[in-house]
Amino acid sequence: MEIRDPASSSRHNGGANHFVEDDEDDDGDGLVWPTLSLSPRFQHIPPPPPPIIYGPFFEPEFPTNISVLAGQTVLLQCRVMDLGDRVVSWVRQSDLAILASGGVSHTSDNRITASADETLTDWELQIAEAQTKDSGLYECQVNTEPKINWPVTVHVEDNTYACSAAVIFTSRRAICQDNGGTWAHLMRVRRSQQMRKWK
């Protein structure tokens, strides 16, 4: 049986590769084939780096600090890019309550609503008729491993003041002129009631 000369094969390809004779008939066909091994100068080439896998990330489009007066609506927003099959949730950090998930609110507080745009990029949480107890840290979270979050701090300022000066009644509001400025309430009130700061 004739076996091809490994040395002559190596000369034909410039010596880049080496053929090593295998003295075993692996497949039982009566033929013995040489095996190919890389030249030593190619054995030290590092393997290619693993592919970069992009996941969800937040785009810094919306504010992370929000201040409102009591009674106003708080609007929390976050923008998530490359969401894929992940889920966005809004979490209140004071009690770790999940207020919304996937654009749907999960709270018995009917002041709180959640929504997302059609592209599932912009996510919102609204708190109507804000109260001072709503102040604190909220997070827009994505359920990656580990989780990523967009923190939003909410400040709700109490806007009730006692009126100690003249009160002017109109058809829709009562205006209190005090030393600290002009205060008003959007409804008829009695002189003895507290007034809401008017902006």
Residue pLDDT, tens place only, 69-87: 999 999 999 999 999 999 9
Q: For residue 162, what pLDDT is reported?
A: 52
**Predicted confidence (pLDDT) at residue 161 exceeds the cutoff of 80:** no
Q: Which two tokens stand for residue 190?
A: 């009695």
Average pLDDT, the chain: 76
Q: How many CA atoms lie within 13 A of 31 on its CB side?
A: 5
Q: Are 99 and 114 in contact (CB under 8 A)?
A: yes
Q: Which two tokens stand for residue 48?
A: 């290619």
Question: What CATH architecture applies to the domain 57-157?
Answer: Sandwich (2.60)
Nearest 10 degrees: CA dihedral of 29, 34, 37, 40? Answer: 170
152 forms beta bridges with 138
Parse the chain into domains and list their residue ranges.
Answer: 6-42, 57-157, 160-196
Residue with more model confidence, 42 or 66:
66
Lowest mean pLDDT among 47-56, 76-85, 132-141, 182-191: 182-191
> Would the pTM count as exceeding 0.75?
no
Q: For residue 197, what pLDDT is reported?
A: 45
Residue pLDDT, tens place only, 104-155: 999 999 999 999 999 999 999 999 999 999 999 999 999 999 999 999 999 9
